[in-house]
Amino acid sequence: MALTEIVSGLPMEVTYQLMDTEKVYYFSFIAFKGGCGSSGQHQNYWLALTDRRVMYKTKVSELKGKLENFVEKDGDLPFDKISFIEVSEGQEVKGCSAQKTFQLRISTSGGTIAIPIPTKEKGYEIRKIYSELSHKA
């Protein structure tokens, strides 16, 4: 699969963060849903891969003691700081029931970022494109 630069249709939130010669090769919105008993709001978060870094705005999982909290974060991870990317699957109790969850776990020199993703296949797609881009750099 040949990588194609995305030149239009990106949200301003992404384009204003790009460096002068940086090119975007992957972009996807990632919906994050409320649990049972909540208003069920959907907020759009996103993940983008450029020729230099992974950019994201999402709720990431953080452990505080034995409790898992989701915190909204907007950041980027330069390719040269990433040691590996993995796709994980788990069960999470949300509101009234347990549901299957998927995460894209990106390990960097500063720790591991766990980004919720909608499907395992989406994680494999992101990981494949990252591998192609990082070998190109």
Q: For residues 41, 18, 137 and 121, what is the CA-based torsion angle, rounded to 10 degrees?
A: 10
* Residue 15: alpha-carbon gap to chain centroid: 17
State the pLDDT at residue 2: 78
Question: Which regions of the chain are under pLDDT 50?
Answer: 34-35, 37-42
Q: How far apart are alpha carbons 120 and 43 in whole angstroms?
A: 20
pLDDT digits (tens, 9 = 90+) for 54-81: 999 988 767 777 777 778 889 999 999 9
Tell me, what's the pLDDT at 35? 47
What pLDDT sits at residue 38?
46
* pLDDT score recorded for residue 39: 47
Q: First and final CA of the chain: distance in angstroms?
A: 17
Placement of tokens 């994050």 in the chain: 32
For residue 118 the two structure tokens come to 């909608």
Q: Is 48 helix (H, G, I), strand (E, B) or coil?
A: strand
How far is residue 50 from each of residues 35, 47, 61, 62, 74, measured CA to CA in Å? 32, 10, 23, 25, 15
**CA 58, CA 45: separation in Å to the nearest integer?**
5
**The pLDDT value given to residue 40:** 46
Q: 12-136 has which CATH code? A: 2.30.29.30
Distances (CA, A) of 77 to 48, 49, 82: 11, 10, 7
Q: Give the DSSP letter of residue 20.
A: T
Looking at residue 37, what is its pLDDT? 46
pTM of the model: 0.82
